[in-house]
Amino acid sequence: MILATICCRGGSKGVPNKNLRLMHGIPLIGHTIVQAQQSELIADLIISTDSQQIADTAKEFGAKVPFMRPDDLASDSASKWPVFIHALEFYEKEYGVEVEYLVDLDVTVPLKTPLDIDGAIQLALDNPSTEVVITGYEPERNPYFNMMEIREDGLAEIVKKSEKPIVRRQDAPDVYSLSPAAFVIKKSALYNYPHWSKAPCRIFPIPRERAIDIDSLLDFELVEFLMSKKQ
C-alpha cells in the first residue's frame, strides 16, 4: 500500500502564504494534489497541515485531511521525519490499512509530473533493499570540479578531492542536487533510522526544469514563466 502525503505548514517566510498563492489561477497546493491524483501507483493521499485554510483548500481539490497537525510538529524547527511517522500511524489507525511505502510530495515543486512521481516509486519497488528514493537533478556545479570550501585557516580548497585533479567536468563523478518533488520512504526506514540520510538511498533523476523548488518570489516568478511557456 503506497500512501502519499503533502505536508505543508501555514507559515512561510520566503514567499508569504506560499502554499495557497495562486499560480496560473490555482493555489500552489492544488497542482501537487492533482499530480498525486493522476499517479498510477499511489493508493491514497492525505494532507498534514496546521492551517485550517490549507485544509479547506485541499478538500476543495478532493484531498483527505483526516487530522490537523499537532503544534509540536508544526514549528520552524520541527523535522519532517516525525511528521511522516505521525501521518502514517494516524492513517493506519483511522483506516485500518497497513502502509508499505510513504511518498511525500512537496508543493513547492509544481512542475513535477505524475511520471516523475511514479518513476521514483517504481525505482523503490524494483529495489526492495533500498529504503529511500529521492528525486534529484544534475547540478551546474560539481564538488569534485568547481566547488570550493573555506578552511579554518582562511584558504579555499576543492570540496571533494580525488587522487588526480579533475580538469574536465565530464570526468568528475556524477552528483545530484536533491529536489523534494517526490520522497519515497519504506515504512521500516521511518523506525530503523533517525534521518533519511542514514538509510540505503537511491536517486531518481528528473530534468532540472521540473525540479525547481520555490523558496523565494524569484523562484515563484521563474516557475510561472516556465509553466506559461509549457502551456
Domain boundaries, given as residue ranges, for the chain: 2-135+177-230, 140-175
Q: How many CA atoms lie within 13 A of 154 on its CB side?
A: 0
**How far is residue 6 from each of residues 29, 58, 74, 150, 161, measured CA to CA in Å?**
8, 10, 13, 37, 38
User: Coil, strand or helix: which one is 64?
Assistant: strand
**CATH code for the structural domain at 2-135+177-230:** 3.90.550.10
Q: What is the pLDDT of residue 14?
A: 63
All cell numbers assigned to 37: 491524483
Q: Residue 192 has what DSSP assignment?
A: H
What residues does 103 pair with on adjacent strands?
A: 4, 184
All cell numbers assigned to 35: 499530480
222-227 contacts, C-beta under 8 A, 24 or more apart: 223/23, 223/110, 223/111, 224/23, 224/24, 226/111, 227/23, 227/24, 227/110, 227/111
What residues does 5 pair with on adjacent strands?
A: 46, 104
3/211 Cα distance (integer angstroms): 22
What residues does 201 pair with on adjacent strands?
A: 132
Q: What is the pLDDT of residue 169?
A: 83
Q: What is the pTM of this model?
A: 0.91
User: Coil, strand or helix: which one is 4?
Assistant: strand
Q: What is the pLDDT of residue 167?
A: 87
Q: Residue 90 has what DSSP assignment?
A: H
Q: What is the pLDDT of residue 61?
A: 97
122/224 Cα distance (integer angstroms): 29
Residuewise pLDDT in 10s, the chain (231 residues): 999 999 998 876 667 789 999 998 999 999 999 999 999 999 999 999 999 999 999 999 999 999 999 888 887 777 899 999 999 999 999 999 999 999 999 999 999 999 999 999 999 999 999 999 999 999 989 999 999 999 999 999 999 988 888 888 888 889 999 999 999 999 999 999 999 999 999 999 999 999 999 999 999 999 999 998 877
Q: What is the pLDDT of residue 136?
A: 97
CB count in 10 Å sphere of residue 131: 23
Residue pair 7/48 in contact by the 8 Å Cβ criterion:
yes
User: Coil, strand or helix: which one is 91?
Assistant: helix
All cell numbers assigned to 157: 580548497
Residue 191, Cβ density class (10 Å: 0-12 exposed, 13-18 middle, ≥19 buried): exposed
As a residue count, the chain comes to: 231
